[in-house]
Amino acid sequence: MKNEPTVGAPAAEIPAPARPSARRRVFDLAWPVIGESFLETMLMIVDTLMVARLGVAAIAGVGASVQVMFFIIAALSALSVGSNVLVAQAFGARKLAEASRLARQSILWSILLSIPLALLGFFLAGPIIRLFGVEADVAQIGEDYLQVTMATVVALVVLLIGGGALRGVGDSQTPMRVTALANVVNVFLTYGLIFGVAGLPALGAVGSAWGTFLSRLLAAALLLFVMWRGKRGVSISGPGGWLPELRVASSLLRIGVPAALEQALISAGFTTMTMIVASLGTAALAAHRIAFNALSLSFLPGFGFAIAATALVGQSVGAQEPEQGAEATAIATRWATLWMAAMGALSFIFATPIMRLYSQDADVVRGGAATIQIVALAQPFWAILFVQSGALRGLGNTTFPLRANTGGIWTSMGIAWLAVTYLNGDLAHVWGVFLITSPIMAAVLWRRFQREAQEWAARPRKKEPKDAKSP
């Protein structure tokens, strides 16, 4: 098995606690993740609703900078994915001291890497936004917003890493609770800083960025406090393991880099998509941004069950119980597909009212509603590819999801560019490409996990040596 946890000092091996059913384990992990993702999405939606009161240019400018942030976050996700998988595998093998060491090193390396990137992004905010080819007023709003949000990178990466480590040990409720508190704080801060309420300065669209920055800083501090106290025998407290260890970083990156490259290339694909849409005009760009925000709610069950599959398959690798991982993946796939199909149906029916929550501009509403209805039809296929990708990562295979998902996204972008450039396509044609590519991607990923799961189950199992030492 590639990419099994091999770093860290010998750790105590303790008896595993009584285990609930596979379905219960999937839901216990998935629903808090869905709840957390819902809260994060609501934060973005509420921010967009408040910014929308400032006009179409504000929506487009903030939307462009948010797309850049998605790309940067994806580039930093290497340690998050590596930490999630390795901590889950160590926890499944009941090597709690090793899991603690891996969590500690993950947070340390994420901070070391994110600080210079945040500084670089701050100084290059203007040139980056101008790559979108947007109008001057939109570019200025986007630059101001991006410079502030770049300061959130360090706090956001700590949230990603800490949340991943906690999910690796089966705790997805703590990240959800921390996110809930941060979102409440964000709503009040953002409203006050945009419109100048309760003695706060009226900063306009950039006030949304400052509200997000302060709320994420609070959330990161709370999550670090929880991890310091420890969860399920895994803690980042203690004097050892705070010096950077290249061997640990190497193990984290061996799994994480392909996953990070996958997310970066996917985000780059959607950034390219935004550039393609920008060529259609400000109204199309605003409709694109609003539709993307609205649709992100329907993606949540897929993300939640995918993360559950990663953690549970990883734990089953550590425990050398392949049948548990395969069963958890089947359950996660079935429920993700049902929920995303249902949410897609609701999005299809209420597409126009959803768009009117954000804008009364006829062109924006018409283009966004058509986009929502098209993407709603692709929801079941995206559910399958999300979960199968997550299960493969739990096995330690992050290279195949990289090839399959990025290949599908960039093929879609190529077709979309041709449609807009040579066939006079509109926003609906850009998104409609996914009705062709998504079923193919889902089938390829499902078949690959089935094959690897069967190969894994056929391998001889070996006992881990007992060792009562701690790092």
What is the pLDDT tens value at each position of the chain, 471 positions in all? 444 444 444 444 444 445 567 788 888 888 887 887 777 767 766 777 788 778 888 878 887 787 777 767 766 665 677 778 888 888 888 888 888 888 888 888 878 878 888 888 888 888 888 887 778 888 888 888 888 888 778 888 888 888 888 888 888 888 888 888 888 898 889 889 988 988 888 888 888 889 888 988 898 899 999 989 888 888 888 766 678 888 877 877 788 788 878 877 887 888 788 888 888 888 888 888 778 777 777 788 888 899 889 888 888 888 788 788 889 999 999 999 999 999 888 888 988 888 888 777 787 888 888 888 888 898 999 999 999 999 999 888 889 999 999 999 999 999 999 988 888 888 888 888 999 999 999 999 999 999 988 888 777 665 554 443 333
In a domain, residue 15? The reply is no
Please report the pLDDT score of residue 447 as a whole number: 94
Tokens standing for residue 457: 């189950």
Distance CA(266)–CA(284), nearest Å, equals: 21
In a domain, residue 469? The reply is no
Domain assignment of residue 214, given as a range: 22-458
SS3 assignment, position 200: coil
Q: What is the pLDDT of residues 26-51, one digit of tens each?
A: 888 888 878 877 777 677 667 777 88
Check if the beta carbon of residue 69 is closer than 8 Å to that of residue 151.
no
Query: 401: which residues sit within 8 A by CB, 6+ positions away?
Result: 258, 259, 262, 389, 392, 393, 445
The three-point CA angle 321-327-333 to 5° equals: 140
For residue 50, give the H/E element and its range. Answer: helix 22-52
Q: What is the pLDDT of residues 42-96, one digit of tens each?
A: 776 677 778 877 888 887 888 778 777 776 776 666 567 777 888 888 888 888 8
Tokens standing for residue 292: 């993307």
**Following DSSP, what letter does each residue of 99-120 receive, concatenated?**
HHHHHHHHHHHHHHHHHHHHHH
The type of residue at 366 is R
In a domain, residue 466? The reply is no
Question: How far is C-alpha 305 from the chain's CA centre?
Answer: 12
In a domain, residue 389? The reply is yes
Q: Which residues of 288-320 are buried (b: 16+ CB within 10 A; e: fewer)?
A: bbbbbbbbbbbbbbbbbbbbbbbbbbbbbbbbb
In a domain, residue 13? The reply is no
Check if the beta carbon of residue 95 is closer than 8 Å to that of residue 11.
yes
Check if the beta carbon of residue 3 is closer than 8 Å to that of residue 461.
no
In a domain, residue 465? The reply is no
SS3 assignment, position 469: coil
Residues pairing with 13 in the sheet:
95
Number of domains in the chain: 1
In a domain, residue 4? The reply is no
In a domain, residue 386? The reply is yes
